[in-house]
Amino acid sequence: MSTKPIDALALAPHAANPMLSRPYRVQKVRQETPDTFTLELEPEDKQPGMTFAPGQFNMIYAFGVGEVPISISGNPAQPNSLVHTTREVGTVTRAMRQLDVGDSLGVRGPFGVGWPVTESRGADVVIVAGGIGLAPLRPALYQLLAARKYYGKVVLLYGTRTPPDILFRRELQQWHSRFDLEVHVTVDRATGNWRGNVGVVTTLIPRAPFDPHSTVAMVCGPEVMMRFTVQELEKRGVALENIHLSMERNMKCAVGFCGHCQYGPTFICKDGPVFRYDRLQPLLAVREM
């Protein structure tokens, strides 16, 4: 059985009925990139919003269409605004994109084991994000920066497809201008007059300024990207038990009953989605697990 990092443990109330959605109202809609958007939500009933740990997710219900798991992408220190950033990829996310300010959707959560933010105190932290993977990592970065003095070097490595796909661009630029945070961005393919890095995100790892022997790595993105990222981190000497990945599988209930999210002996909804790499290593080696 997994031991949950203390900061990710049960911040969710043990709801008497975990399948019951709670109506939330849309406060803001923002198009982030051509296929990605953000919704900011508040509870319909004006009761306090949910407290959550970075890396946790909610089940978001679009009326009559369906429900999907979406990572929380906002600041844990601001529970009154619930922020979700998602790609528009299916019927539910498309329906979500059609919502206006004032419309409501259903929210259940927060669920899952999150990033080991508090556990990483005293170490360097390297965050490697690919594409939409930056969204579940942003809350971790907020929490790290809010307690900056407890950490050594903090490095953010972000890669995406093309310059228009860069997520949270303004925020990245703000972070980039800080003296206590190292931010490197790269794209797979340059378009327009991009003068930044071009190359897959793993190319940023060999020269990133962190001490591999005292580093915690948090990685999120497509599974292939995460596998190759681990290879590069391992090459630099980061211990496998200090690397954490966020995994994704089909989810229906998010509370360990429906069985859909099983990955080997783990339930991604309750044993994850964040896992220590050494636990995942034997599972990642088996196809169609």
Neighbours of 203 (CB within 10 A): 15
Measured from the CB of residue 151, what is the shortest distance to another protein in angstroms?
A: 28
Give the helix/strand (H/E) hosting 148: none
Both tokens assigned to 38: 């953000």
What is the amino acid identity at position 259? G
**What's the closest the beta carbon of residue 174 comes to another protein, in angstroms?**
30
In the complex, the smallest distance separating the C-beta of residue 4 from another protein, rounded to whole angstroms, is: 10
CB-count exposure of residue 42 (10 Å: 0-12, 13-18, 19+): middle
Radius of gyration of the chain (CA): 18
In the bound complex, what is the minimum distance in angstroms from residue 14's beta carbon to another protein?
A: 7
DSSP 19-78: T--EEEEEEEEEEEETTEEEEEEEETT--------TT-EEEEEETTTEEEEEEB-S-TT-
* Minimum distance from residue 243 beta carbon to another protein (Å): 14
Summarize as ranges the residues that interact with another protein (CB under 8 A): 1, 10, 14-23, 44, 61, 63-67, 89-90, 100, 102-106, 188-189, 222-224, 227-228, 231, 234-235, 248-250, 252-253, 255-260, 262, 264-265, 267, 270, 282, 285-289
Residue recorded with tokens 């690919």:
130
120 or 266, CB closer to another protein? Answer: 266
Which one, 63 or 150, has the nearer CB to another protein?
63
Nearest to 15 by CA among 255, 252, 251: 255
Q: Which of 156, 251 has the CB closer to another protein?
A: 251
**Least spacing, CB of residue 272 vs another protein, in Å:** 13
Shortest spacing between CB 81 and another protein, in angstroms: 18
Select 176 or 189, whichever has its Cβ closest to another protein: 189
Q: Residue 112 has which token pair?
A: 């899952």
Residue number, 39 or 154, with CB nearest to another protein: 39
Q: Which residues contact 209 (CB under 8 A, 6 or more apart)?
A: 153, 155, 182
Residue 56 in tokens? 């946790």
Least distance from another protein to the Cβ atom of residue 154, Å: 26
Nearer to another protein, 183 or 220 (CB): 220
Residue nearer to another protein on the CB measure, 151 or 275 = 275
155 burial via Cβ count (<10 Å: 0-12, 13-18, 19+): buried
Q: Which is nearer to another protein, 252 or 276 (CB)?
A: 252
Contact assessment for residue 52 and residue 110, using Cβ atoms and an 8 Å cutoff: yes
